[in-house]
Chains A and B, each alone.
Chain A
Amino acid sequence: MRTTPNKKELIIGLAMIGSSLAYLVMAYQLPGHGGVDAGTVPALLAGLLILLGAMQVLSAFAAKPVAVEAAAPSTGDLPEVPAETAAPDVIEPRTVILTLALILGYMALLGPVGFPIMTVVYLYLQFLVLTPVTQKAKHLSYLLISVISSAVIFLLFREAFDLMLPAGLLNNFI
């Protein structure tokens, strides 16, 4: 992850242009292009987006890497604010991917398996994934918290707020 700010800004700029182009192509496929119609605003927006993306790419070439590094405000008037993470940020792509996979699985199975079961499974696994490195996983309390939160949320919304969360497999029992 040791990309220089300059290169990072360039990648951001390219991503901006890429998404703008995709939008432009879709905007041109809209029916009818006589005068001002439903396609006008999207086309104008696409043009603006591409322009801004191009400016970002240009600024990535122009900016010295140092200037971006110093962007954190170093105003003499203000004392330093300690950041929440005292240690230099350790970035873990693995945890991010695991978390995303868990959320994805949770949402995919929410319909067929149902909210009560999936919430217990998701919460338990997500607690495990996010447990800080300095702590041991407390399996029993994790499981208890998962079951209690799932039950409380499900019943609270069902009884008090008239929201029928999908019960899935438990449909016949509740």
Chain B
Amino acid sequence: MLDLLQQGFGAVFSINILLLMAIGVAVGIVFGAVPGLSATMAVALCLPLTFTMGPQAGLSLLVALFIGATSGGLISAILLKIPGTPSSIATVFDGGPLMEQGHGAKALGIGIVFSFLGTLFSIAALMFIAPQLAKVALSFGPHEYFAIAIFSLTLIATLSAGSMVKGLFAGALGFAVSTVGIAPVEAIRRFTFGVSELNGGFSMLTVMIGMFAVAEIIKLAETGRHAVQGKAKSVSMKNIKGFGFSFKEFREQLPNAGRSGLIGLGIGILPGIGAGTSNLVAYIIAKKRAKDGHTYGKGNIGGVVASETANNAGIGGAMMPLMTLGIPGDTVTAIMLGGFLIHGIQPGPLLFISQGPLVYTIFAALIVATFMMLFMEFYGLRLFIKLLDVPKHILLPIILVLCVVGAFGLSSRLFDVWSILLFGVLGYGFVKAGMPAAPFIIGFILGPMAETNLRRGLMLSDGNFMDFFTNPISGSFLAIALVFILWQVYSAMRPKQSAINEILRS
């Protein structure tokens, strides 16, 4: 393993890739910091840039964007009291008050350092667990893959924001949209209406760009002309030693950080829920366990530590099912999946055998990007604060143009450009209806996987459905999925809910 990792670092440490990654981390931090822009958007918009690069450079860039954007949310959470991304909501609770009390630099320093530690922790976990998981997954056949796809879909649909019915509907609708195009097995055309461009179905990237970026611009049009854009306060960086906090404070927060890191990692591994949930869960648990719990929410650094460690620890967690099973854990890794496929790499257990060096290049890129994030975010803070002031009505139209370029770049046809508008309008409709977009995306991606494996599994067992239930692994996944739905229905009917339950469901 060590020599493979060494090779990986060797590949990453070329001027070319390091430069790309530095740009990636910086752009990622900006997308994370500016409210309304998200990690998903950053990766989706930059994916077309990687088409002409090799897989190592391309994937390193995407990884750098992912890490930068996940961490960047803390800047606006502390300075503007607005979470830049859902994953830093809990950072606002204590980061905001700390800023008001004049400890802004301390809050930022703590947030950045514990982001860094959380990311490193999760990458270490990824490096040790993923190869083992891949070994187990090697023996999986169509039955297991079908069950895992259904399990993941159920989880994301029931745990997403809003009502469970809407979440499940969004997931099923995504699955339905994925059936457009040439069917697996018999290869007949479905729902193409004679349009030859539809033979290959809708491209995953156009769906994502439409749902997340174009829909965001239409949403801005609705209220943007009356919204008050927050003004970032500047933080004095003079007389700051190190990262702005003492070693004693650091040591005191270590148990909290360890716990939050585990929470973030665990929630990150589960498909469907990620940093957006784990930062709140970690915050609540940190508050309950802390001796000075009553000061949480009034400017306790523990709150920032819990939230930032947990949301960044989700990075390694979300990469785990992607790299070992080819199943994306959230929307960002869903686009990463697209990135892998564009470079002709199929993520899954075989990746570790056939593309060993590439896997360790990705690990190395993750580690290098984490260090870059630490230094760029802290020392380049002023620049990022300036960018927070760029008016939205200038920024978002330019992003729309970039969306169009990205869609066109997929295969140089205007059909894809029209698709992003279609999915943009659909995404806007989802927002209006209070329907979550993430299950739709995951349904769209896992749908073909579920259908293909269902058909293959049925062929293997001569059309016998029972094999899906009698196979121990696939049977357990399907059973867990069923239990999960029943549990959700049960807890939805109970009037009184615990806070964690509330977050998981709301």
Tell me if B397 and A132 are in contact (CB < 8 A): no
Q: Mark B259-299, 1 if CB is under 8 A from A, else 0.
A: 00000000000000000000010011001000000000100
Q: How far is the CA of A26 from the CA of B189 in the complex (A)?
A: 12
Tell me if B226 and A36 are in contact (CB < 8 A): no
Say yes or no for A169: interface residue by CB 8 A criterion. no
Tell me if A77 and B402 are in contact (CB < 8 A): no
CB proximity of A128 to chain B, nearest CB, Å: 9
Tell me if B408 and A99 are in contact (CB < 8 A): no
Tell me if B404 and A95 are in contact (CB < 8 A): no
| Chain A positions within 8 Å of B454 at CB level | 41
Q: How far is the CA of A71 from the CA of B497 in the complex (A)?
A: 12
Tell me if A107 and B506 are in contact (CB < 8 A): no
| Chain B positions within 8 Å of A71 at CB level | 506
| Closest residue on chain A to residue B280 by CB atoms | A78
| Chain A positions within 8 Å of B400 at CB level | 103, 126
| Chain A positions within 8 Å of B434 at CB level | 12
Tell me if B409 and A163 are in contact (CB < 8 A): yes
Q: How large is the interface on B (under 10, 10 to 19, 20 to 34, 35 or more residues)?
A: 35 or more
Tell me if B421 and A164 are in contact (CB < 8 A): no
| Closest residue on chain A to residue B94 by CB atoms | A79
Tell me if B186 and A99 are in contact (CB < 8 A): no
Q: How large is the interface on A (under 10, 10 to 19, 20 to 34, 35 or more residues)?
A: 35 or more
Say yes or no for B499: interface residue by CB 8 A criterion. yes
Tell me if A36 and B455 are in contact (CB < 8 A): yes
Q: Which of B287-320 contact A (CB under 8 A)?
A: 287, 297
Tell me if B433 and A81 are in contact (CB < 8 A): no
Q: Which of B86-102 contact A (CB under 8 A)?
A: 89-90, 92-93
Tell me if B398 and A123 are in contact (CB < 8 A): yes
CB proximity of A154 to chain B, nearest CB, Å: 9
Q: Which of B239-262 contact A (CB under 8 A)?
A: none
Say yes or no for B412: interface residue by CB 8 A criterion. yes
Interface segment out of the listed B62-70, B133-141, B166-174, B200-208: B166-174
Tell me if B397 and A127 are in contact (CB < 8 A): yes
| Chain A positions within 8 Å of B220 at CB level | 130
| Closest residue on chain A to residue B186 by CB atoms | A38
Most buried by A among B221, B280, B425: B221
Tell me if A130 and B393 are in contact (CB < 8 A): yes
| Closest residue on chain A to residue B396 by CB atoms | A130
Q: How far is the CA of A64 from the CA of B218 in the complex (A)?
A: 31
Q: How far is the CA of A35 from the CA of B183 in the complex (A)?
A: 16
Q: How far is the CA of A101 from the CA of B418 in the complex (A)?
A: 13
Tell me if B183 and A99 are in contact (CB < 8 A): no
Say yes or no for A19: interface residue by CB 8 A criterion. yes
Tell me if B221 and A37 are in contact (CB < 8 A): no
Known: A55-B165, A56-B169, A130-B224. A46 touches B176 (CB 8 A): yes
Say yes or no for B472: interface residue by CB 8 A criterion. no
Q: Which of A37-86 contact B (CB under 8 A)?
A: 37-38, 41-42, 45-46, 48-49, 52-53, 55-56, 59, 71-73, 75-79, 81-82, 84-86
Tell me if B405 and A149 are in contact (CB < 8 A): no
Q: How far is the CA of A66 from the CA of B279 in the complex (A)?
A: 29
Q: How far is the CA of A131 from the CA of B224 in the complex (A)?
A: 8
| Chain A positions within 8 Å of B185 at CB level | 37-38
Say yes or no for B463: interface residue by CB 8 A criterion. yes
Q: Mark B451-473, 1 if CB is under 8 A from A, else 0.
A: 10011001000010000000000
Dominant secondary structure of chain A at its interface with chain B: helix
Q: Which of A49, A87, A103, A163 contacts B173 (CB 8 A)?
A: A49
Q: Which of B90, B188, B214, B283 contacts A30 (CB 8 A)?
A: B188
Q: Which of B391-416 contact A (CB under 8 A)?
A: 391-394, 396-398, 400-402, 404-405, 408-409, 412, 414
Q: Which of B191, B230, B503 contacts A26 (CB 8 A)?
A: B191
| Closest residue on chain B to residue A16 by CB atoms | B169
Known: A42-B176, A73-B506, A149-B398. A36 touches B191 (CB 8 A): no
Tell me if A79 and B93 are in contact (CB < 8 A): yes
Say yes or no for B175: interface residue by CB 8 A criterion. yes
Q: How far is the CA of A129 from the CA of B393 in the complex (A)?
A: 9
Q: How far is the CA of A103 from the CA of B418 in the complex (A)?
A: 10
Tell me if B433 and A12 are in contact (CB < 8 A): yes
| Closest residue on chain A to residue B408 by CB atoms | A165
Tell me if B463 and A45 are in contact (CB < 8 A): no
Q: How far is the CA of A21 from the CA of B223 in the complex (A)?
A: 33
| Chain B positions within 8 Å of A49 at CB level | 169, 172-173, 176
| Chain B positions within 8 Å of A36 at CB level | 455, 458, 463
Most buried by A among B93, B397, B458: B397
| Chain B positions within 8 Å of A170 at CB level | none
Interface segment out of the listed B47-55, B326-334, B343-351: B47-55
CB proximity of A56 to chain B, nearest CB, Å: 5
Say yes or no for B359: interface residue by CB 8 A criterion. no
Q: How far is the CA of A53 from the CA of B280 in the complex (A)?
A: 31
Known: A36-B458, A49-B172. A85 touches B227 (CB 8 A): yes
Q: How far is the CA of A49 from the CA of B173 in the complex (A)?
A: 7
Q: Which of B82, B405, B435, B506 contacts A84 (CB 8 A)?
A: B82
Interface residues of B (CB under 8 A from A): 35-36, 48-49, 51-52, 81-83, 89-90, 92-93, 163, 165-166, 168-169, 172-173, 175-176, 179, 183-186, 188, 190-191, 214, 217-218, 220-230, 280, 283-284, 287, 297, 391-394, 396-398, 400-402, 404-405, 408-409, 412, 414, 417-418, 421, 424-425, 433-435, 451, 454-455, 458, 463, 499, 502-503, 506
Q: List 17 A-B contacts (CB under 8 A).
A: A12-B433, A12-B434, A38-B184, A45-B172, A48-B172, A49-B172, A52-B168, A72-B506, A77-B284, A78-B93, A89-B226, A100-B218, A110-B417, A130-B225, A130-B396, A132-B229, A161-B48
5 A-B pairs besides A90-B226, A132-B224 with CB distance below 8 A are A71-B506, A85-B228, A89-B223, A91-B223, A126-B397
Top 6 A-B residue pairs of the complex, sorted by shortest distance between their CB atoms: A130-B393, A38-B183, A99-B221, A126-B397, A90-B226, A79-B297
